[in-house]
Homo-oligomer: A and B are copies of this chain.
Amino acid sequence: MTRFITDAEVAARLDAGTAVSTIREALLAAYEGRLVAPPRVSAPLAEGRLVLTAGQLTGEWYGFRSYDTFGHPEAEQVVALHDAGTGRVRAIAVGQEIGSRRTGALGGVAVDALARPEASTVGVIGAGGQAWTQVWAVAAVRRLSEVTVYSRTPAGREKFAARVRAELGIAARAVPSPAEAVRERDVVLLATTSPTPVISAADLRPGTHLNTVGHKQIGRAEFGTDLLDRADLLVTDSMAQAGAYEPPMLAAAAPYAGRLRSLGAVLAGAVPGRSTADQVTMFCSVGLAGGEVFLLDRLTREIPELTGSGAPPREVDQVAWSE
């Protein structure tokens, strides 16, 4: 009775508001200990690693996402949702959409929790899929007036700006330098594959909130320690995963580790968030394990065609092989 869910289904049915609210639940569940989300594990293969991130929502479900490091641009991930009571697989998703929307939604939750309430301008570095889902999710938590974007190729950033205008209905401009993209912005999103800093702290104005989605380890990071020094508040989505990087994650190593806080703890009110309008806040996204399974669970439970109410259920093991 496994439900098989494709990227097209996810894209059509998982809107940003639902993704952000679901991932917010996941972060709270992890903070409260109901979501068990250990650091990722991986198996070495010939041309890369196969990686497993697993999660369990106690009494409800367990599951995983798998992905690899082979570098194929069209590589598909697998997300599996098991029923906790029987071990049966309730749903399988194959593709890229759940993973990328999960990451975007984490950024959206962070912006919602930490950016100034009136934040309306966004500067993005990067024009790939991760940059897109960051903007997609942020647009669900703040009323945005303009997005500026920089990426290495003019064509890539122009296309990204056009997509923001077309799909999100928000004014958007491609700009020719990273500093121009982030200057005077309320929210800054770093979503690059760069191993070296793409902006500096001097580019940011007081009151900015920043998400970093790309490399963030010692010796390989899309930002420098000047940003960590500048930030009044450092937050991550999983303290366990932040502490498991090798080489270590910059914000999880001395002298920053003592200042790093859990986003779930902020959401729960156990740790203070932003306290003044001119603080700089920074979210170091590590990709809370189990978040993808939360999204798959939400998709299967709350969409009528997927739960059997409304349209008759279409179960793969009944229809896929019929003639």
Contact = CB atoms under 8 A, between A and B. Distances in A.
Contacts of A55: 45
A280 B321 CA distance: 46
A92 B5 CA distance: 12
Interface string A18-61: 00000000000000000010111111111100101111101000
Interface of A: 2, 4, 6, 8-9, 36, 38-47, 50, 52-56, 58, 62, 64, 66, 68, 70, 72, 74-76, 78, 80, 82, 84-89, 92, 94, 289, 305, 311, 314, 316-317, 319-323
Question: What 3 pairs between A and B have smallest CB-CB spacing?
Answer: A75-B87, A72-B87, A43-B54
Query: How many copies of this chain?
Result: 2
Contacts of A86: 72, 74-75
A62 to B, nearest CB: 6
A56 B69 CA distance: 13
17 contacts: A6-B316, A38-B44, A41-B43, A43-B54, A45-B56, A46-B56, A47-B56, A62-B68, A66-B80, A72-B85, A72-B86, A75-B82, A75-B87, A75-B88, A76-B87, A92-B92, A314-B322
A215 B109 CA distance: 46
Nearest to A78: B80
Given A43-B52, A66-B80, 18 more contacts: A36-B44, A38-B43, A38-B44, A38-B45, A41-B52, A47-B62, A50-B62, A64-B66, A66-B66, A72-B85, A72-B87, A72-B88, A78-B92, A92-B94, A305-B321, A314-B320, A314-B321, A319-B320
A66 B52 contact: yes
A43 to B, nearest CB: 4
A6 B317 contact: yes
A322 to B, nearest CB: 8
Contacts of A321: 6, 9, 305, 314
Contacts of A82: 68, 75-76
Contacts of A2: 4, 6, 76, 94
A50 B47 contact: no
A291 B320 CA distance: 25
Contacts of A89: 76, 78, 94
A251 B67 CA distance: 34
Nearest to A50: B54
B87 A74 contact: yes
A164 B227 CA distance: 69
B45 A62 contact: yes
A317 B50 CA distance: 24
A4 B44 contact: no
A76 B54 contact: no
**Most chain B beta carbons < 10 A, residue from A70, A82, A321:** A321
